[in-house]
Structures are given as C-alpha cells and as structure tokens.
Structure 1
C-alpha cells in the first residue's frame, strides 16, 4: 500500500473528507505525532485483522437494526456524519422526506391515498434496508481504519551510505567464474572439447585479470576483456545450450558443420584471442619498462654525472 500525507481533520478531531476517502480507497494514512506517539489511522495489519474477524464485523454492524425498524434516515444520517460521506447524508434526507410523505398520505381520509402511503412506506423501508446492507462493507472499512489504535511512532530511517563504485575488473573476475561454473554444470550437454576450452580461457584470463587489477586497466584493455568475458564466451555457451541436444549434435548447417562443432571452433578462437590479449598487455608493460630504462640510461649516463 502507498502512503499519503496527512490531511487536516475537523474541529471535532475526526479526519477530513479527503482523509476518509483515502481510507475507503485502501490507502494507508497516518496522523501527526502527539507526545512521541502517533495515531494509527489506517495501519494495514489492524484493518486486515479487524475485517477478517467475524465477531468484530458483527459487533460493528449493529446499526443495521436501525433501518430494519424503518428509521433508514437516522442510520444514514449517523453514518454520513461520522464517516464524512455527503452522499449518505443526502440519502438520509431522501428517506426522511419519503417517510414523511408516506405518513402524510396514510393520514388522509381517502382510501386510495392511504394505499399509496402504505406502498410508499413499504417501498422506502425495503429500499433503505437493501441500501443499508450494501453500504455496510464500506462502513466497516471506515470503522476498521478510524476506530483508533495507538502505536509507537516509527523511528526515522537510518541514512543510507552511498555504495562505493564497483571495481569493473573485480566484476569481470566474478563473471568469468560464473561462466566457468555454467560450463562445468552443463558438461554433459556440451560437446567434447568444449569444457576444456572454457577452462583454458579461464587459465589465460584469470592471471591476466589479477595483473590488470593490480596495476589498473586502461580503457582499451578493459573493453577487450569485457568483450570476451561478458559477451563472446557466455554468448557462445548460451546459444548452444538453447538448442535441443540431439539437434545440436547432428544437424549440419549451410557450412557443413554441426552446432557442436561450431561451438568448439568458436571456443578455440576465444582461447587464441585470450592469449593474444594476454601477450598484448604484457608486451605493453614490457615496452613501458624499456622506455623507462632508456630514459634512465639517458638521464644518468656517466657523462651527465661528470662535474
């Protein structure tokens, strides 16, 4: 359920019309705090418990006896004022006028007018009784939400610390482990050579990711690693596992290969690609070391140090 802001009540302390309407529509509404406690205007657990209780419903449906004895107007006047529902007050006025007209006709000397008065009185009584039974469910919801029950004021929520940005390399390490677990779990469905190829990719990328995480990855390295770990490798496995096992092993496509053979071929290409990427990263670091060596050699050559 959603919460809405408190609305002001009347001078008699009862909730306002907007507040009543929110309860009838099933929204939770809370009143302001008083002395560290707050009025439970519509706590869901209280409303639900009361409405499920047959004893409570019967005890709060006593007002149906009022229209049963012909005082429909009094019952709807009471509910309309307590529930702040203008339509019920208008209904009370209509029943009052109808009863008054019926009694006026019955008191006449003409027999026809007496019969019309009796019919109007009986019709008003029947209509009011049916109307009361239909309105009782709405009245019970209002009673369940507004008969009041003190509950401790909810403590203020603790401030949420903003989460630290996730390390993309750590995320790639976790993703790689997840892909390997998927391959191991489906080893019975994958063709021969598929699981060893996936593990070979892991053997290449796992130390590479640890190396990159230690010194920091540049944009191009991160892009290439993400492509293998999050797209190419899980994509190949996922597309294959989506196929029926027999189809993947026996059906040959336009190129003359089965999906199983195509998967193994792609995995071998990924092994080669991972090795190429590993070599490129290590070569780049080696070049950096060589560049620094040449700089130091030029900077600290003996001739430069001679006075």
Structure 2
C-alpha cells in the first residue's frame, strides 16, 4: 500500500495467506507435549502442593478426554476448550505464577484481597471443573447410546406379553428308582 492509498483511505485487499501465516491445529502429540511441560513445571519442589495436585488433576482429565474429542464434535467449543486448556490456558496460568518471586506471590494481595497463589488456585479449580464437565459430556455420548440400545433390546425382546424366556440350563435329575411292589395286602373293610 502506497502513501496516497493511505491518504485516500484505500485499503489493500488481503492476498492469499502464505503457508507460514496459516496456523494449524495442534496434534495429539503437540497437546501431550504441552501437558508434559506443565507436569515438569509443577514437579519443581518450589511449587506448592495445592498447585501441583490441581494441575496434575487437570492434565489427567485432559489426557483421558483427548481420545474422545471426536465425540464432542471436531471444532466444537468443548473440543476447542480441551485443546486450549492443554496448550494455552493451563501453561500460561502456571507460568505467570512461577515467574513471580515465591514469597511475594504467596503473601501479597494483588486483586480482591487475594494473593497470586489464591488467584491461581481459583483459576485451576475453574479449569478442573470445566475439564471434568467436558469429559463427562464426551462419555455421556456413549452412555446415551448404551441406554438407547438397552431400550431397543427391551422393546424387541422384553415384551410383557411374550412368554418369559428360561435361559437357565436344566440340571439332570437322577432317574427315580422303581418302587418295590408292596406284597402286603391291605385290609378291606
């Protein structure tokens, strides 16, 4: 765009994006590598146990959810949230906290009377609840299919008017011994 184009308010039309400008979605390997980095960050003994436990709970839930992302719908808000949590939200929250001096981050109120540590815990709790809800949603898809299949089977084979099926295997009973003939005569009256 030239000088006169800017002065006259002419906008340059965007051309085709170069390969470098097109962002690609993270692969499962990228997501797992990001989760590995978070786990290494919180393994530092300087990280408070409450942070470590919450972060590890989130990484565990994300890892359990990854194979089920297709059930949420590729490109859905939930699947995006899982990927963004693993690659952006979680690493950034923990990274921002770890860049602060420990004594300052854990003792100085920075917002609403809360320290950086308490703010981080709130953020981790929110991410944890959200990831658990998304994991449940992914599993609910299969659970709903199981319920539907059960209803179909009940309707198909479980009619009340149909004779009840006895699927028990009968156990053979020994043959009755022939009764000996009673040679006594009964008195007649």
Indicate the TM-score class for this superposition, using the shorter chain for normalisation: 0.5 to 0.7
Name the CA distance, whole Å, in 1 between partners of 2:67 and 2:38: 17
CA distance in 2, matches of 1:248, 1:254: 12
What's 1:130 paired with? Answer: none
- Tell me what 2:97 maps to: 240
- Matched residue SS, 2:113: coil
Out of 142, 148, 153, the position equivalent to 1:285 is: 142
Contact 1:237 1:263 in 2 (8 A): yes
Distance 1:167 1:238, change over 3 A: closer
Uncovered stretches (5+) of structure 2, i.e. residues with no partner: 1-23, 160-189
Matched, 1:270 2:137: no
After superposition, the C-alpha distances for 1:20-77 in whole angstroms (9 at most, x for unaligned) are: xxxxxxxxxxxxxxxxxxxxxxxxxxxxxxxxxxxxxxxxxxxxxxxxxxxxxxxxxx
Query: Which residue of structure 2 aligns with residue 219 of structure 1?
Result: 75
TM-score by length of 1: 0.38
Residue 89 of structure 1: aligned partner? none
The count of corresponding residues between Structure 1 and Structure 2 is 135
CA distance 1:301–1:218, shift in 2 (3 Å): farther
Establish whether residue 193 from structure 1 lines up as the match of residue 50 from structure 2.
Answer: yes
Q: Looking at secondary structure, tell me which structure has more helix per residue.
A: 1
Q: 1:172 aligns with which of 3, 28, 31?
A: 31
> Contact between 1:173 and 1:209, CA under 8 Å: does it hold in 2?
no
Q: Could you tell me how far 1:253 is from its partner in structure 2? A: 2.1
> What is the RMSD of the two structures over their aligned residues, measured on CA atoms?
3.0
Specify whether residues 172 and 193 from structure 1 end up closer, same or farther in structure 2 by C-alpha distance, changes over 3 A only. same
- Distance in 2 of aligned mates of 1:192 and 1:238: 16
Tell me which of 108, 116, 130 is aligned to 1:259.
116
Kindly state the Cα deviation for residue 170 of structure 1 after the two structures are TM-superposed: 3.5
Contact 1:201 1:271 in 2 (8 A): yes
What residue number does 1:182 align with?
41
Alignment TM-score, normalising by the size of structure 2: 0.59
Unaligned runs of at least 5 residues, structure 1: 1-164
CA shift digits 1:76-133 (9 cap, x unpaired): xxxxxxxxxxxxxxxxxxxxxxxxxxxxxxxxxxxxxxxxxxxxxxxxxxxxxxxxxx
Match of 1:250 among 98, 101, 107: 107
Separation in 1 of the partners of 2:65 and 2:79?
11
